[in-house]
């Protein structure tokens, strides 16, 4: 498979600067997956690779958080031959809308583009549980936490199987400890979540 980070670099999706992430943390690096996934061939390649990792868990559907997880979730579902469902924010909380349903018969994988703390993954898992569905695994194109996502559990072991095509350790800081803020460099918010 084509090197994942090469696809990000070629697409201009590996950004440097001062960013406020969806998690609220600050970082000097940002992965703008939409710039990679806008190319159907890249999306298909990444979806097939991620499907190969989560396929052994035998899901019958993929659930992704909007907005970042929709395209890659759809590509993973297509590669697995299962349906793709997404949860979206309404009044600040993720929920199923647009007539999507889940139930006890569903074995889901939660798929995202990039995981930093795992907050969206946890929220998406909770949406599935609230509808009686079982989440059998989670996955993302990039794990930017260096394997330390909070949803993996306090002592390190995963709360459920998690697969990423690439694991990176990009620095993150609380806003109060951010060296870029202390230098007076304005932070930009490039992601889809406004909170």
| Residues 117 and 25 sit within 8 Å (Cβ to Cβ) | yes
What counts of helices (H) and strands (E) characterise the chain?
Answer: 6, 9
pLDDT for the residue 171: 86
Residues 57-110 pLDDT 10s: 999 999 999 988 999 999 999 999 999 999 999 888 888 899 899 999 999 999
pLDDT for the residue 156: 47
pLDDT for the residue 195: 47
| Residues 135 and 108 sit within 8 Å (Cβ to Cβ) | yes
Percent pLDDT > 90 in the chain is: 60
pLDDT for the residue 146: 75
Residues 106-152 pLDDT 10s: 999 999 999 887 888 889 999 999 999 999 999 999 998 777 665 55
Q: Please state the domain extents for the chain.
A: 4-182
Q: What is the SS3 assignment for 154?
A: coil
pLDDT for the residue 154: 47
11-31 average pLDDT score: 88
47 vs 14, more confident: 47
What are the C-alpha distances in Å from 140 to residues 33, 114, 149, 176? 11, 6, 12, 28
Helix ranges, 104-149 (H)? 119-130
pLDDT for the residue 116: 80
pLDDT for the residue 67: 87
Residues 144-178 pLDDT 10s: 877 766 555 444 445 788 999 999 888 889 999 99
State how far the Cα of 4 lies from the Cα of 19, in Å rounded to an integer. 22
CATH number of 4-182: 3.40.50.2020
State how far the Cα of 22 lies from the Cα of 114, in Å rounded to an integer. 11
Q: What is the mean pLDDT of the chain?
A: 88
pLDDT for the residue 24: 85
| 159 CB neighbour count, 10 Å cutoff | 17
């Amino acid at each position: 498979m084509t090197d994942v980070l090469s696809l990000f670099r070629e697409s201009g999706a590996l950004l440097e600067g001062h960013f406020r992430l969806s998690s609220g943390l600050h970082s000097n690096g940002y992965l703008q997956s939409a710039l990679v996934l806008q190319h159907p061939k890249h999306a298909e390649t990444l979806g097939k690779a991620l499907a190969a990792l989560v396929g052994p868990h035998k899901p019958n559907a993929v659930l992704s958080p909007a907005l970042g997880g929709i395209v890659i979730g759809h590509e993973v579902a297509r590669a697995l031959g299962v349906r793709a469902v997404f949860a979206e924010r309404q009044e600040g909380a993720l929920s199923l809308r647009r007539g999507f349903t889940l139930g006890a018969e569903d074995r889901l994988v939660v798929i995202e583009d990039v995981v930093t703390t795992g907050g969206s993954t946890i929220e998406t898992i909770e949406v599935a549980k609230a509808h009686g569905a079982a989440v059998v695994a989670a996955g993302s194109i990039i794990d930017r936490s260096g394997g330390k996502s909070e949803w993996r559990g306090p002592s390190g072991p995963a709360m459920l199987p998690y697969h990423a095509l690439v694991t990176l350790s990009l620095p993150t800081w609380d806003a109060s400890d951010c060296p870029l803020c202390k230098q007076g460099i304005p932070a930009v918010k490039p992601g889809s979540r406004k909170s």
